[in-house]
Amino acid sequence: MSDDATRLSGYVEVWWDAVGRFTALLDELEPDDWSAPTDLAGWDVKACASHTAHLERVLAGHGEEDAEVGEPPHVTSIMGLYTEIGVVNRRDVPPADVVAELRAVAAERHAQLLADPPTDASVKPDTIFGGVPWTWETLLRNRPLDVWMHEQDVRRAVGRPGGLDSPPAQHTTDYLTESFGYVVAKKAGLPSGTTAVLDVAGSPTVAVEVDETGRGRRLPEVPGSADVVLRMDREPFICLAGGRRTPPDGAVTVEGDATLARRVLDAMATTP
């Protein structure tokens, strides 16, 4: 098996694990839990489940859905309008049926990927949602992230913490830490020559330096001293990187320049 095929197969495995954990959590919810607001503006627990069922249904080959979405105040992008389609179309569907749909279409998709596994990470899949120009690499790497992030959205909304030490949690956290150079250099706009370190418990420590072109260059080793060092556990990191809630006081340890660190923390979100 080629390196690409092995890597893509691993993404499929961790996505399938994420689906199983998410649907198991949804099965446990009480009737009132489904309307609990999440950290995502305008979305309750049912919206997270409905959105996930929608995307997995499209990926399983059932075609795109249409809906009159209108102009929801919480939607700020074209992709945001697209992700509302699944929510609108399932608004009157009983929660148990949404879970059953998610489980069924994901199982269908899983069977397809096992029967005809992708082997070239650079190729664009024939079926993808919303016409996004993703390769197999991007699509399959993002699916466990999306599913697991919504599992965590639901857990925080209904007060059922957990799932932070699973393979999807590891995959997602490691993946999101890779954007640290972009956050430091482009989003926070720290000056050339600045060094910054991100230490998230359970994931490889990331050290970057802003080079003379304004890019965040990954350093091969963590420097003995850096201008900014941020240390935190997994949950506060994914809340920041996912654009969710602000972690409680004390959840992030800052070393070095506090002003620069604040700029980085304020710019940490890289995924909706």
Residue 85 pLDDT level (bands cut at 50, 70, 90): very high
Any bridge partners for residue 229, and if so which? Answer: 197, 255
**pLDDT given for residue 272 in this prediction:** 65
Q: Report d(CA 256, CA 170) in Å as an integer.
A: 27
Note the pLDDT tens digit of each residue in 104-129.
999 999 999 999 999 999 999 999 99
Q: Is 100 exposed, middle or buried (0-12, 13-18, 19+ CB in 10 A)?
A: middle
Q: Which two tokens stand for residue 177?
A: 């830490």
Q: Are 170 and 202 in contact (CB under 8 A)?
A: yes
Give φ, ψ of 256 to 5 degrees: 95, -145
Entry pTM: 0.96
Q: Which CATH fold would you assign to the domain 178-266?
A: Nonspecific Lipid-transfer Protein; Chain A (3.30.1050)
Distance of CA 14 to the CA centre of its chain: 13
Res. 1: pLDDT tops 80:
no
The highest-level CATH class for domain 3-165 is mainly alpha
Residue 155 pLDDT level (bands cut at 50, 70, 90): very high
* DSSP per-residue string spanning 169-202: HHHHHHHHHTTHHHIIIIIS-PPTT-EEEEEETT
Start-end of CATH 3.30.1050.10 domains in the chain:
178-266
Q: Report d(CA 171, CA 106) in Å as an integer.
A: 19
Start-end of CATH 1.20.120.450 domains in the chain:
3-165
Res. 67: pLDDT tops 90:
yes
Res. 231: pLDDT tops 80:
yes
Q: Are 239 and 161 in contact (CB under 8 A)?
A: no
